[in-house]
Amino acid sequence: MNPRESAAFIASIAQDVKIDPLGIQNVAKEIVRAVECEEFKPNNLYIHSYPLPIDGEPASIEWLFVADVLNFSFWQLQEDQHYTVELKGIKYTGYMALCAALTKALEVNKEFFLCAGIPITTSTFYANITADDITKIFASATQPIPLPEDRLKNLQEAGKVLNDKFGGSFCNCVKQANQSAQQLLTIIVDNFPCFRDEAIIGGKTVSLYKRAQILVADIWGLFKGEGLGKFDDIDTITMFADYRVPQTLIKFGALQYTERLYELLNKNHLFENGDREEVEIRGCSIHAVELIRDEIEKNHRTTVLDAANLKLNSSMIDFFLWEYRRRFAKELARIPYHKCRCIFY
């Protein structure tokens, strides 16, 4: 099953996570309110504010690919402790710190030693990257980056696949997809094992594909849906199931947890990837966003959305929920999130 079908199935059998229709309406209303007062401008929302070294060129696709090969597991047990990287006077944390580290690696030597930076986005380099390289490139002023051995393995594996099958360039994967988000998604998960985010629940194999889908959406966003970023079926991409967006869904009542699950979360229980509770949280989050999207389209069309001829797809809604959690981090810190050390999110 694809992520949308998988999410609907997971929600139908979930034991510890439920979706509340009133909460779905609450989120839809909040998104529309934010659009109307221009707090949220989805017509300009094409990409996270990444510290990209190159914007809108094929080389930036190679940067995005490496970023999403490594886009996982940035949480810390303490809310005030973060993996942190400073770039050009700005301190970035979490995933954005990793993005800053990539750009810093490409630029820092050029700036200070008048020679080329570390070619971290070149497949021939990262196919043979070493543990020492990982330590150097992803150095932090605070907490070390989690799972460095897995990041090393992912980069080596991805580089080898690109070199062996795609001429050393992820752009070739994008071109082979023929402007189809689903075809690119298939190319990614079929050829790069580190993106194969699947689980077994209720006797069925389900797919969640957080990192693979966000890679597709990042390319679409960066190129504003044109050129290499043109995907005729981009609206088939779901939200990107992680450990932060559920906090926003809980806040608005769209998701509800059982007392048993809350007890585990409050104790900082470490879930294994594939545990039933972990799969339920992620799957129900995906399905909740699908329901939010449908609710907006059916019952909350506004003059603002109509004037822009804008359809809010799931990746846009995901961005709103993810950014909401960042904007109100202190308030939402009271809502526990599930913790799982794995390479998929």
Q: Which residue numbers are catalytic?
A: 242
Distance CA 208, CA 154 (A): 18
